[in-house]
Each structure stands twice: as C-alpha cells, then as structure tokens.
C-alpha cells in the first residue's frame, strides 16, 4: 500500500472513499457537509463512541465519495495512539465495499513534532494492519480482494515528524504482519524446520547472527526438558538463537519465545474441539522473530539475543509420559503430571540458555495457559515477573503499542501447588485455580536470582476468535511484536 500525508481539502481527494472522525460531543464543525452529516448522525442515533461508524452518500467531493464517519469517543481521553484503532476501523469498512483508494481526515492532537510523530505512526500502523488478509489458500479468485492500494492522510500542515513517524509505523506494521502470517500458517506447513528457515531468512536480510541447534546439540547442552516435549513427533526439534550486537550498546536484552508449532497435548491428549487452534502455540516465537525483523531495520543501540525452542508436542511412540522425571538444563528435576503442560518445559531450558548470554534482563512470551484466557478474556495478555521497574517499562510500551496487557501477581505461597514428591518441581498444578500464576511460578524456578525477568502469557489474543481492533477472525494477531520493539527503542539511553 502507498501512503502519503497531504494538506488541503480532503473532499477534493482523488480517492473512492473519505473517512472523517468526530468525538462524542458530535461537533461536526470543519468537516465536509457538516450540517447534513450532523442530521444524518442524529437520524442513525450515532453517538460518536469509539468503534461506531456510518456511511453517508452524495455529501462530499465531485464525484461523490463513500463518506465514512467514525467515532473517536471522549475528547479528554484522546491520545495519538487512539488513531490506530480508528484508522483500522475505516480500512475495514472500506474493504467491505471493495474500494482501492481512500483519504483519512482525523485530528492528530496537539500541534507538536512529538505528537505528530506518534499520530503518524499509529495511523500508518492501523491502515496497514487492517488492510491485509490471509488468503493464500483460497482458490476462488472472488475471495482474494487485495484491499486498498493507496491511502492519503489529510493534515493541517506537513512536518518531518509525520514522515518519520509514518516510516516507523510501517516497519512495526510489517513486522507484526510477518508474525501474523507465521501464526496463521497451518501446522503441516509451519514446522520447526520451516521456522528455522524463516529465522535464517530474517537474519540474512537484516544482517543478524543466527545459529540453529538440532537434537544432538541440545542434548549436549543438557536440555532434557525441551527435548522430552519434542520426542513424540516426526518433526525434530530446532532451537533457534539470533543475535543483534551493535557497537556502543549499554543494555543487553534477552528474548524468549515459546515455539510449539502444534500442541496435541501429547499423551494427555486435548479434546478435539479447538485443537486446530493449537497451530498458534508458537505465537510467542513468531512475536520474537517479528521483533527481530524490525530491530534489524531500525538498528537501535541495544544488544538483543533471542531464542525460540521450536517443537511439536505429539503422542508418538517415543512421547514422554505422565510420571516421567526430566532433568532441565540448569540441573533441576521436573515431575511430569500432565504432558499438555509442555510449553513451560521448553521455556525452562530456553530461559537457562538465554541467561548464559549474560543479558541484563529477560522477556519471554508464550501462549502458556488457558487459565489466563479464563481470567482476562480473549483480548488481554497477562504479565508477571520478578522486577517491578521492568514490568512497568513493559506495560508502558504495551500501552502505546496497542497491545492490551494486564499485570498479574506471582504469589510465593502458590508454589505449594507445584510441589513434587519425587522431584524438585512438578510441571502442572495439583489444583484447578490460579493456573496462569502457577505456570509463572514454575518458570521462575529457571530464572537466576538477580536477573530481571518478565513473562507475558499471550494465550488470549494470539489467534483471533473474532475480529479484533486491527486483526481478523481466524488469523494470528501478531501480539507482542510492537511491545517488544517499543521496549527496545526505549532502552537506547
């Protein structure tokens, strides 16, 4: 898609569609055909709330355009990042009408370079994220509409901040879309081997260092927990390690992404209903790889090492069993109570490995527990960790990125629920409640004292059950990519 920032009258734009926006005070002053639009809004009982929209015709431009009015919500709650969802909504509605070009005339906020930068970033992200659909397996040509090819953003005046912010928005959107495709791909296509190939491509294009370890190399390192999960599948494990080490970096971040390309539950087999969605159990690794793709383009002065422990959890003849005791890379032993609590086993060894890279802090992302979805619903991720300042930084980055993340506790008293009679720790809680928290407490066993660490459970939003703010039903959301990149950009000094 081509995008550009323009001044002048949006009604004169050479586009098929035009979107304008109003707050819930319904002040249409300054908009094309303001009196007619106000009357139409009253007729349709349009309140100007966020997420509301209506079309009006024969009111703007020659020839007339598909004129869309969208709501911005309360004026006093507006900030530039709100434009991401509004722009995405406009694109979605234009796509429904098979338009190929559109103009957007939305308020930006305060007239400062910083605000213009943030607004431009959000606008470009919104239109790019909403414009892409996953159609590669559709054979009916009528289902392969490519969406908008050109978007014009009309602003009161042009500034360098708009162009630079827009460029950053494009980088972040493209990285998020890359992650979305990985998540949406079926598991017969996106295998551990294929994920390793994708990582090699990203590394080659971006000038990153990468190495891929197979089962033999991982066994030499003592990754008994990770390898046990993979041993029931015909697809071998692939442990991916990527590095970005710029000169002059004063902060070194470790990223870990859960990489189950399919999770059947193993011998503790999942119910058939919903098992198809388990192709998305590698969403954490997709977010990490997408973030590394963006980091390679943006080149921040922050060192980043990223690991993805890719595997399939299948009930083959070599599958690990309930009752098994595994030895993790850090030497701790784990009693297996449920083979469907496998992601935390792969993360255990990945966390140990990343800390050996002498990182200053660790962030991990994982579609770890259904309990987190029960607690927070399908739109929110849960955040846990051992360092409140680090958690605060991650939450701040998420707020500006559009990712909805809510902090959850890590109560030490709940460690009793994963106590084992025969090993150092059990991989599953002995009680039903607090599953997201006990999973976090399990992971904490593999974080060394003094290492700041944050765990993000992204099980809810990773794969959309319905349309999200800027992602479509049945597709991966790319959750976490923009939060990770924003966090890295904020650690430059």
Positive or negative: CA dihedral 460, 465, 471, 475: positive
- Residue whose entry in the numeric block shows the structure tokens 């992602």: 471
Which backbone phi and psi does 292 adopt, to 5 degrees?
A: -65, -35
C-alpha span between 291 and 86 (Å, rounded): 24
Which are the contacts of 19, defined by CB distance < 8 A and separation ≥ 6?
67, 68, 69, 70, 90, 93, 94, 102, 103, 104, 105, 106
Give 113-152 as a DSSP string: HHHHHHHHHHHHHHHHHHH----TT---GGG-----SEEE
Q: Where in the sequence numbering do the catalytic residues fall?
A: 270, 344
Total H helices, total E strands in the chain:
13, 17
Tokens of 416: 């009793």
Cβ neighbour number for residue 387 with a 10 Å cutoff: 17
- Residue whose entry in the numeric block shows the structure tokens 């094309």: 32
C-alpha span between 208 and 200 (Å, rounded): 9
List the beta bridge partners of residue 382.
406, 457
C-alpha span between 153 and 164 (Å, rounded): 14
Tell me whether strands 238-244 and 209-213 are parallel, antiparallel or unpaired. Answer: antiparallel
Assign residue 377 a region (left: φ > 0; alpha: ψ between -120 and 50; beta: otherwise).
left
Residues for the chain: how many in total? 493
């Amino acid at each position: 898609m081509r995008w550009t920032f323009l001044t002048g009258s949006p009604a004169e734009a050479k586009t098929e569609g035009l979107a304008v926006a109003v707050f819930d005070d319904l002040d249409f002053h300054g908009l094309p055909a303001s009196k007619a639009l106000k009357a139409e809004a009253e007729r349709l009982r349009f309140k100007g709330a966020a997420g509301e929209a209506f079309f009006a015709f024969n009111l703007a431009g020659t020839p007339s355009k598909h004129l869309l009015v969208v709501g911005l919500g309360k004026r006093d709650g507006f900030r530039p990042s709100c434009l991401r969802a509004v722009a995405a909504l406009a694109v979605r509605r234009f796509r429904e009408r098979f338009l190929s070009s559109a103009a957007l005339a939305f308020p930006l906020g305060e007239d400062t370079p910083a605000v213009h930068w943030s607004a431009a970033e959000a606008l470009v992200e919104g239109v790019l994220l909403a414009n892409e659909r996953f159609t590669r397996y559709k054979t009916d040509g009528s289902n392969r509409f490519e969406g908008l090819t050109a978007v014009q953003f009309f602003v009161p005046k042009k500034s360098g901040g708009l162009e630079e912010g827009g460029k950053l928005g494009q980088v972040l959107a493209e990285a998020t879309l890359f992650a979305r495709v990985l998540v949406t791909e079926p598991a017969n296509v996106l295998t551990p081997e294929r994920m390793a190939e994708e990582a090699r491509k990203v590394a080659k294009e971006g000038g990153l260092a990468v190495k891929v370890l197979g089962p033999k190399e991982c066994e030499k390192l003592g990754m008994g927990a990770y390898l046990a999960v993979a041993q029931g599948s015909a697809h071998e494990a692939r442990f991916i390690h990527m590095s970005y080490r710029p000169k002059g970096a004063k902060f070194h971040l470790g990223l870990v992404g859960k990489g189950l390309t399919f999770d059947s539950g193993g011998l503790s087999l999942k119910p058939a209903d919903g098992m198809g969605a388990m192709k998305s159990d590698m969403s954490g690794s997709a977010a990490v790889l997408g973030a590394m793709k963006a980091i390679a383009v943006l080149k921040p002065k922050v060192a980043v090492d990223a690991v993805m422990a890719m595997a399939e959890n299948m009930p083959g003849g070599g599958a690990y069993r309930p009752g098994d005791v595994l030895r993790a890379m850090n030497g701790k032993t784990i009693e297996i109570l449920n083979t469907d609590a496998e992601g935390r086993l792969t993360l255990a060894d990945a966390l140990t490995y990343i800390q050996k890279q002498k990182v200053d802090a660790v962030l991990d992302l994982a579609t770890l527990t259904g309990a987190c979805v029960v607690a927070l619903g399908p739109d929110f991720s849960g955040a846990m960790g051992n360092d409140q300042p680090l958690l605060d930084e991650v939450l701040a980055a998420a707020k500006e990125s559009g990712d909805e993340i809510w902090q959850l506790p890590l109560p030490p008293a709940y460690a009793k629920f994963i106590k084992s009679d025969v090993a150092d720790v059990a991989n599953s809680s002995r009680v039903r409640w607090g599953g997201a928290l006990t999973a976090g407490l399990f992971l904490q066993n593999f974080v060394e004292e003094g290492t700041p660490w944050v765990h993000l459970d992204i099980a809810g939003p990773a794969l959309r059950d319905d349309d999200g703010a800027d992602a479509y039903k049945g597709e991966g959301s790319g959750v976490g990519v923009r939060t990770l990149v924003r966090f890295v950009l904020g650690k430059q000094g």
